[in-house]
Amino acid sequence: MRKIIATACCLFFIFADTIAQESLQEKKFLVQKKLILFPINSDGQKYNLDFCAGDFKTYFDLRLASHEDSTDYWVFMDVSKFHGQQVNISGKKNTGLSDGFKLIHQSDEIKTDVPIYSEKLRPQIHFSSKRGWINDPNGLVYYDGVYHLYYQHNPYDWAWGNMHWGHAVSKDLVHWEEMPIVLHPDEMGTMFSGSAVVDKNNTSGFKTGNEDVIVYAYSTNLDKVAQAQNLAYSNDGGKTLQKYENNPILPAIKRFGTNDERDPKVFWYEPNNNWVMVLHEGLGQSIYTSNDLKKWNFESHVKGFWECPELFELPIDGDEENKKWVLSGASGNYKLGSFDGKEFIPETDKLNYLKGKMYAAQTYNNNPDGRRIQIGWGTVDSPGMPFNKMMAFPTELSLKSTKQGPRLHLNPVKEIANLYKSSKSYNDLIFGDKDVNKEIDAVSTPLLHIKTSIEPVTNRKFTILINGYEFNYNLNDNLLNDVFVPLIDYTLDLEFIVDINAIEVFINGGQQVMVIPHDSNQQIPGITFSGKNETLIKHLEIHELNSIW
């Protein structure tokens, strides 16, 4: 009887396995080229696919086109590291999937009708990925002369999903080169946000060669019900990452009763000779400490913040003897206070510097010249394009004294000068009843960096037009468009970074920041001023910019 049962069970599993195999659509490649290309229909059905190459396994979904003439664009998977190996792509058998699988092929180049970086809405002075969606900047770290920008990335769709870690590098913070993806979804979930540190003393024990090991803390998201904290590390200067075999280092425990446990930001706290992690939990930011990056102790919690925590110290007005700590969240909200390595004590109510299309900013802990450099996610849509969203332009953060106390200020990094193609400056121009625009030279490109200081004389309203976009200021209610902007010493200081698809505005030395979507295509490039009576332009700089590509 046992033999009959055993035989029946064996036959059942063979039969079940056969059915499973027959229900799968598979495509196998012996990797001989750099990329595998997938045709995408933006309005098509989503298919869930598995990818396997030896011990490497991942999964993703995409809107696979079933015919060449229904293909809107092509996306790619970089398989160069699997050269000479067999890889397998599979999904649940379906007529549309079967047709789409016939179009999947290897190539050394991305298939495209329009050259990459020359598309109509492609940002020309902000980083964007070649294909797919990007969001939060992750793992910002400087190592051996290179700035690393990792980021949340869906390489297979225009919309959010399939979270991977994309990767780009730069030597000057303005010219970026996209690199292969470093973290793929696994059995613990998709790859959510995190940070990176250079573990110079090898406290983690991950170092295997001559390079300092870079350690990455990141969240995984499993079906939106479990978010855990994990480690990866790199022994080749950040080019490739290895996931820690004993992940997670912090399992999903729902300490504050929700599934929201994510976005670890880690840094070295010198006074206590240990690591600090700021982690979003519940409706606030939690602080943990560790000696080895693997075992973490909960220390404290600050309520009232959402996602993407940051915690760092800055001098006030450059005075190294007078510093404050900044605790922030994803929306440009922050508090100033003190920090003893375990607890942040707020000394201000919540403050804010941001209006418009930026979110989830992160900073570099270890810039070699000591600057605190920040990159935010520019949430500007790119309709009809094979890519979506961008990174905001890198800014230097500082604390400056105001009549209300010290406040955070953001200023474009000085490296923007590397993009200057031509520059003009003007002083003491009057506009209003007089047309001052004839005195301002025309520009040849919509890519601009503009600085100006304006003083109302007898005019309470004036307009600045940049590439067809109107900025209206009214002294009566102190509104710049819909943002409250008081004059400082009776002067309005404005700085603009103008791209094909967006305008960033830094107000009064960067105390306030606006990020505005604007299509500069088909617009007359340049800046003009208008208003009644008299307004004084104390100073005006116009720098034409080269593309970062």
Catalytic positions, please? 136
Q: What is the DSSP string of 38-92?
A: EEE-TTS--EEEEEEETTEEEEEEE-B-SSGGG--EEEEEE-GGGTTSEEEEEEE
Please calculate the CA angle 98-72-28 and round it to the nearest 5 degrees: 35
Whole-angstrom distance, CA of residue 122 vs CA of residue 549: 10
In Å, the largest CA–CA distance within the chain is 105
SS3 of residue 12 by DSSP: helix
Amino acid at 111: K
Distance CA 323, CA 347 (A): 13
β-pairing, 461-466 with 527-531? antiparallel
Give the C-alpha separation, 453 to 495, whole Å.
9
CA 415 to chain CA centroid, Å, is 19
Kind and range of the H or E run holding 2: helix 2-22
DSSP state of 105: E
Which strand (E) or helix (H) includes residue 99?
A: helix 95-103
- Give dist(CA 426, CA 152) in Å, integer: 42
Q: What is the CA radius of gyration of the chain?
A: 26
If one counts every other C-beta atom within 10 angstroms of the C-beta of residue 190, the result is 23
- Other beta carbons less than 10 A from residue 21's beta carbon: 10
- CB distance 218 to 261 below 8 Å: no
Residue with tokens 């020359």: 118
Per the DSSP assignment, residues forming a β-bridge with 505 are: 496, 514
Inter-CA distances, 154 with 33, 194, 438, Å: 22, 16, 47
